[in-house]
Structure 1
Protein backbone atom coordinates (compact mmCIF):
# COMPACT_ATOMS: atom_id res chain seq x y z
CA UNK A 1 0.00 0.00 0.00
CA UNK A 2 2.85 2.38 0.76
CA UNK A 3 4.10 2.12 -2.85
CA UNK A 4 0.67 3.03 -4.17
CA UNK A 5 0.59 6.33 -2.31
CA UNK A 6 4.23 7.23 -2.78
CA UNK A 7 4.79 10.83 -3.79
CA UNK A 8 7.55 11.87 -6.17
CA UNK A 9 9.52 10.31 -8.93
CA UNK A 10 11.11 6.91 -8.88
CA UNK A 11 14.72 6.23 -9.74
CA UNK A 12 15.53 4.09 -12.78
CA UNK A 13 16.50 1.25 -10.42
CA UNK A 14 13.14 1.44 -8.65
CA UNK A 15 11.28 1.39 -11.96
CA UNK A 16 13.22 -1.64 -13.22
CA UNK A 17 12.82 -3.47 -9.91
CA UNK A 18 9.03 -3.27 -10.24
CA UNK A 19 9.33 -5.89 -12.99
CA UNK A 20 11.19 -8.45 -10.85
CA UNK A 21 13.74 -9.36 -13.50
CA UNK A 22 15.55 -12.60 -12.73
CA UNK A 23 18.72 -11.86 -14.70
CA UNK A 24 21.00 -9.41 -12.90
CA UNK A 25 22.86 -8.57 -16.11
CA UNK A 26 19.64 -7.50 -17.82
CA UNK A 27 18.53 -5.52 -14.75
CA UNK A 28 21.85 -3.70 -14.47
CA UNK A 29 21.88 -2.97 -18.20
CA UNK A 30 18.42 -1.43 -18.06
CA UNK A 31 19.28 0.61 -14.97
CA UNK A 32 22.45 1.95 -16.62
CA UNK A 33 20.60 2.71 -19.85
CA UNK A 34 17.76 4.55 -18.13
CA UNK A 35 20.16 6.43 -15.86
CA UNK A 36 22.12 7.59 -18.89
CA UNK A 37 18.93 8.73 -20.60
CA UNK A 38 17.94 10.64 -17.49
CA UNK A 39 21.22 12.52 -17.44
CA UNK A 40 20.98 13.45 -21.13
CA UNK A 41 17.30 14.22 -21.61
CA UNK A 42 14.21 15.39 -19.89
CA UNK A 43 13.32 12.47 -17.63
CA UNK A 44 9.71 12.38 -18.77
CA UNK A 45 10.78 11.80 -22.34
CA UNK A 46 13.54 9.40 -21.34
CA UNK A 47 11.22 7.03 -19.50
CA UNK A 48 7.99 7.46 -21.42
CA UNK A 49 8.60 4.30 -23.44
CA UNK A 50 9.52 2.31 -20.35
CA UNK A 51 7.12 3.25 -17.59
CA UNK A 52 5.31 6.07 -15.89
CA UNK A 53 7.73 7.74 -13.51
CA UNK A 54 10.87 9.75 -13.60
CA UNK A 55 14.45 10.06 -12.50
CA UNK A 56 15.64 10.91 -9.05
Structure 2
Protein backbone atom coordinates (compact mmCIF):
# COMPACT_ATOMS: atom_id res chain seq x y z
CA UNK A 1 0.00 0.00 0.00
CA UNK A 2 1.40 3.39 -1.01
CA UNK A 3 0.34 6.53 0.80
CA UNK A 4 0.74 9.71 -1.20
CA UNK A 5 1.45 12.62 1.13
CA UNK A 6 1.46 16.19 -0.01
CA UNK A 7 4.72 17.93 0.88
CA UNK A 8 4.12 21.18 2.71
CA UNK A 9 6.68 23.93 2.84
CA UNK A 10 6.73 25.39 6.34
CA UNK A 11 7.87 28.84 7.35
CA UNK A 12 9.28 29.74 10.76
CA UNK A 13 7.30 32.35 12.68
CA UNK A 14 8.27 34.15 15.87
CA UNK A 15 5.55 35.25 18.29
CA UNK A 16 5.87 37.60 21.22
CA UNK A 17 3.38 36.55 23.88
CA UNK A 18 2.21 38.24 27.03
CA UNK A 19 2.57 36.31 30.27
CA UNK A 20 -1.17 35.53 30.17
CA UNK A 21 -1.03 34.26 26.58
CA UNK A 22 1.97 32.09 27.41
CA UNK A 23 0.13 30.64 30.42
CA UNK A 24 -2.86 29.78 28.22
CA UNK A 25 -0.57 27.91 25.81
CA UNK A 26 1.00 26.10 28.78
CA UNK A 27 -2.47 24.97 29.93
CA UNK A 28 -3.31 23.72 26.42
CA UNK A 29 0.06 21.93 26.31
CA UNK A 30 -0.58 20.17 29.63
CA UNK A 31 -4.22 19.30 28.93
CA UNK A 32 -3.75 17.89 25.41
CA UNK A 33 -0.08 16.86 25.64
CA UNK A 34 0.92 18.80 22.52
CA UNK A 35 3.70 21.33 22.00
CA UNK A 36 3.06 25.06 22.14
CA UNK A 37 4.08 25.20 18.49
CA UNK A 38 1.43 22.64 17.50
CA UNK A 39 -1.19 24.36 19.68
CA UNK A 40 -0.45 27.70 18.01
CA UNK A 41 -0.70 26.15 14.54
CA UNK A 42 -4.03 24.53 15.40
CA UNK A 43 -5.42 27.81 16.74
CA UNK A 44 -4.30 29.71 13.63
CA UNK A 45 -5.91 27.12 11.34
CA UNK A 46 -9.13 27.14 13.42
CA UNK A 47 -9.34 30.93 13.25
CA UNK A 48 -8.63 30.99 9.52
CA UNK A 49 -11.32 28.38 8.87
CA UNK A 50 -13.90 30.28 10.95
CA UNK A 51 -12.97 33.68 9.53
CA UNK A 52 -12.38 32.80 5.88
CA UNK A 53 -14.38 29.59 5.42
CA UNK A 54 -11.45 27.36 4.48
CA UNK A 55 -7.81 26.88 5.19
Q: TM over 0.5, yes or no?
A: no
Higher relative contact order (CA 8 A, sep 6+): 1
TM (norm. structure 1) is 0.36
Computing the radius of gyration over CA atoms, which structure comes out larger, 1 or 2?
Answer: 2
TM-score, scaled relative to structure 2: 0.36
